């Protein structure tokens, strides 16, 4: 049976978020996803999570190519954080920004985290993965892991290591095809 790395990624991310949500004793955990196509492709992480944990309430604010800076300046995500009474807010940055523009990533993630905490919710950072066209620029799985781990430590926020899981899934898939 051939494994689909994208489906594996979606499953792993949803499982990680569902595990965090399951720790809550409330009847319905509310989770907001903020991101771009990495968040809304394949039906959307919010819908995938809703399928895995039906009592979870989810929403998604995502637009192709958006990063945290664009979401911040757009204002829609901030309004939803302030008005939505979320338990968790999952932040997904544009895939190259964490490595190429680390200061911007840290600055906007920090600003979002402050608003998320002020609203009573917790931040989850969704780690993206290495793209073939970005590897030469230094946007590698190892660099993404280091950046997200550092930011998670600074913000005292959980990191959903989807990028790491995605890389492992591809590695396993390649080994199975060649072996």
Mind listing the pLDDT tens digit for each residue in 29-77?
999 999 998 888 777 787 887 787 888 899 899 999 999 999 999 999 9
User: φ, ψ for residue 158 (rounded to 5)?
Assistant: -75, 150
User: Are 43 and 50 spatial neighbours (Cβ–Cβ below 8 Å)?
Assistant: no
Position 68 scores a pLDDT of 98
Kindly report, residue by residue over 100-136, the tens digit of the pLDDT: 999 999 999 999 999 999 999 999 999 998 888 999 9
DSSP secondary structure code for residue 159 in this structure? E
Alpha helices in 119-161 (DSSP H): 141-155
44: which residues sit within 8 A by CB, 6+ positions away? 33, 60, 62
Residue 179 has pLDDT above 90, yes or no: no
For residues 51 and 32, give the distance between their C-alpha atoms in angstroms, rounded to a whole number: 15
Selected residue with higher pLDDT from 3 and 50: 50
CA distance 28 to 7: 25
Element (H, E) at 123: strand 122-126
Per-residue pLDDT, 109: 98
For the segment 87-111, the average pLDDT, to the nearest whole number, is 97
3-class state of residue 70 by DSSP:
helix
Q: Are 67 and 73 in contact (CB under 8 A)?
A: no
**Rounded mean pLDDT, 130-152:** 94
> For residue 43, what pLDDT is reported?
76
Question: What integer pLDDT is reported at residue 53 of this predicted model?
Answer: 81
Q: Look up the pTM and report it.
A: 0.82
Instruction: Give the separation between CA 156 and CA 7, rounded to whole angstroms.
Output: 29
Which tokens belong to 154? 């600074």
Task: Give residue 1's pLDDT band: very low, low, confident or very high (50, 70, 90).
Answer: very low
| Residue recorded with tokens 């978020």 | 17
Q: Which of 10-19, 22-31, 135-144, 150-159 has the lowest mean pLDDT?
A: 10-19
Q: Which domains does the chain have, with CATH numbers?
A: 5-178 (3.40.50.1110)
């Amino acid at each position: 049976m051939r494994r689909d790395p994208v489906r594996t990624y979606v499953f792993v991310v949803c499982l990680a978020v569902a595990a965090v949500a399951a720790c809550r004793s409330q009847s319905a955990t509310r989770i907001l996803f903020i991101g771009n196509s990495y968040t809304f492709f394949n039906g959307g992480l919010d819908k995938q999570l809703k399928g895995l944990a039906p009592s979870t309430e989810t929403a998604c604010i995502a637009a192709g190519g958006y990063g945290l800076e664009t979401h911040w300046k757009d204002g829609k995500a901030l309004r939803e954080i302030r008005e939505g009474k979320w338990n968790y807010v999952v932040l997904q940055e544009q895939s190259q920004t964490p490595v190429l523009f680390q200061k911007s990533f840290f600055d906007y993630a920090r600003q979002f985290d402050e608003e998320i905490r002020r609203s009573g919710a917790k931040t989850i950072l969704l780690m993206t993965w290495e793209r073939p066209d970005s590897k030469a620029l230094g946007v590698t799985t190892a660099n993404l892991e280091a950046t997200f781990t550092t930011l998670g430590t600074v913000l005292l926020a959980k990191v959903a290591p989807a990028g790491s899981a995605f890389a492992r899934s591809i590695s396993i898939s390649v080994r199975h095809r060649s072996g």
